[in-house]
Amino acid sequence: MSLLEQCQPKPNSDNTAQAPTAPTAEITPAISFDSIVQVFKDQYVLTNEEILELKIIDTTYSYNTEVSLRDTTIQLNDSIFYSVISLYDKQNLCSFKFIVTIDEKNKKAIASQYLQPDCDVDFSRDSYELYNHKVISSNRIQLTKTTVFQKKDRTSLNEQENIDHKEVQNSFVGISQAGQISIVK
């Protein structure tokens, strides 16, 4: 028997160990931009994958959510629109509102801006903050932050009766026809 014949691998038998095979990963195709645009215009629920595909919202927020809800969509011109969306955390304690502008013609997301948190409120604290937004025109959104200060001696079961005073701050978000977002205090 020659040395070459001695070094040939033996065929596998039932009692020889086989090297493990790598698991096959499912490859999910990228979501088309046109289908994401349709979701923004026709549906209220956005998936995490659709938000990530736009590559426009900080991944700290978008990886922490499973679904998002579209609040409002407004067409600025024949190719550019914006949407206000809410990304919910996995514990369902907070949602984070963003405005996202999209250029349909050039198939790209233009800009995004964090608007406000919307979290469960701990009414036992001495003060807490409430946030709200309102679309006041096609290119302007009003943001309201209300800080509620509670009375030192809170005896009522009605939370409204325990309020000492409130401070209200308004700011505005402007959206240009080109899709740029600016904050005006």
CA dist 71 → 2, 10, 41, 85, 158 (Å)? 78, 66, 11, 5, 30
- Distance, CA of 41 to CA of 82 (rounded, Å): 10
Residue 61 has phi, psi (to 5 degrees) of -80, -45
Length of the chain measured in residues: 185
What are the tokens at 18? 């086989």
**What's the confidence (pLDDT) of residue 178?**
96
DSSP reduced 3-state for 83: strand
What are the tokens at 114? 């964090």
Q: Nearest-CA neighbor of 111 among 53, 173, 179, 60? A: 179
Number of Cβ atoms within 10 Å of the Cβ of 49: 12
Number of Cβ atoms within 10 Å of the Cβ of 150: 17
Amino acid at 75: Q
Q: What is the pTM of this model?
A: 0.72
**What's the confidence (pLDDT) of residue 62?**
59
**What's the confidence (pLDDT) of residue 59?**
67
Quick one: DSSP state of residue 13? -
What are the tokens at 172? 């505005």
**What's the confidence (pLDDT) of residue 155?**
86
CA dist 163 → 4, 136, 146, 150, 170 (Å)? 91, 29, 12, 4, 20
- Distance, CA of 163 to CA of 146 (rounded, Å): 12
Low-confidence ranges of the chain (pLDDT < 70): 1-30, 59-66
Number of Cβ atoms within 10 Å of the Cβ of 147: 13
pLDDT digits (tens, 9 = 90+) for 112-150: 999 988 888 888 899 999 999 999 999 999 999 999 999
